[in-house]
Structure 1
Amino acid sequence: MRLPVVCCCLLQALAGFTQTPAIYDVVIHEVMPKPTPVAGLPPYEYIELRNISTAPVQLKDWRIAINKREALLPAYLLQPDSLLVLCAPAAVNSYNIPNIRGIDRFPAIADDSALIVLYDAFRRVIHAVDYHQGWYVGGKGIRGGISLEMINTAFPCSGKMNWAPSTALSGGTPGWPNAVGAGTIDPGKPDLLFASLTDSLHVLLQFSKTLDSALAADPARYQCSGGIKVNACRVIPPLFNNVELRLSAPLQPTAVYTIQTNGVADCNGEVSGIYNSITLGLPQFPLPGEVLISEVLFYPPPGIPEFIELYNASRKVIALNELRLCARKADGRFEVFKKIMNAGRLLMPGQLLAITTNTALLCGYYHCKAPENIQETGSLPSMPMAAGRIVLLRADSTVIDELPYTDGQHFPLASQLKGISLERLDYHLPAADGSNWQSAAATAGYATPGSPNSQRRANAGDSLNIALLPEVFSPDNDGTDDQVQLSWQLPGPGFVGNVIIYDLQGKPVRYLARNVLLGNSGYLSWDGIGENAVVLPPGIYIFFIEIFNPRGFVKHWKRTVVMARKLN
Structure 2
Amino acid sequence: MKQFILFLFVLLPFCVNSQVNETFDGPTLGADWIGKDRGQFAINADGRLQLNIEPTESGTASIGKEIAYSSDMQWEFDVHMQKSPSDKNKLYVYLYQENDERFCYVHIGNVGYKELGLKHHGNTDLISPQTEFEAFPLLLHVKVTLEDHERWNLYYKTDEMTGYRSEGSALFATDESVGKGNLIFTFYYTKTLSDLFSIDNVRILNRVTETPLEPEIPDKPEILPNLIEVEPFSASNLLFSFDSPVDISDAVFNISTIGDAYTKSYVDTDTKRVVSTFFEKKMQTDCSYTISYTGLKSLSGKAMQDECLEVILQEEGSDPSPEPDPVPGRPDSYPKGSVVINEVMAKPGNGGMVEYVELRNMTSASVSLHKWEYKNVTGRKTKVLPNIDLPAGGYAVLLDDEEKLSVPAQAALILLEKFPALNDNGATLQLWDAAGNKIEEMTYDAATSGVSWELSEGRWLLSTAVSGGTPGAVNSNPQIEEKPEDPDDPDETPEGPEEPSVPDEFEPVLPGEIIINELLPDPYAGGSEYIELYNRSEHALSLSALSLAIRKSDGTLSTRYPLTSVPHNLKAKGYLLLTKNLEGVTSFYDIADLSALCELSKLPILANTSSTLALLRTADKIVIDEVAYSSKWHAHSVKNVKGVALERIDPDAATQDPANWTSASKTVGCGTPGYQNSQYKNASSGDATGIEPPVWIEESGSYTVSYLLDRPGYSCRAFVFNTSGLRVAEISNHELLGISGKIIWSGIANNGSPLQAGIYIFYAEIYHPEGMVKRFKKAFLIR
When the two structures are superposed, what TM-score results if normalisation uses the length of structure 2?
0.35
Larger radius of gyration: 2
Higher helix share: 1
**Relative contact order higher in (CA < 8 Å, ≥ 6 apart):** 1
When the two structures are superposed, what TM-score results if normalisation uses the length of structure 1?
0.47
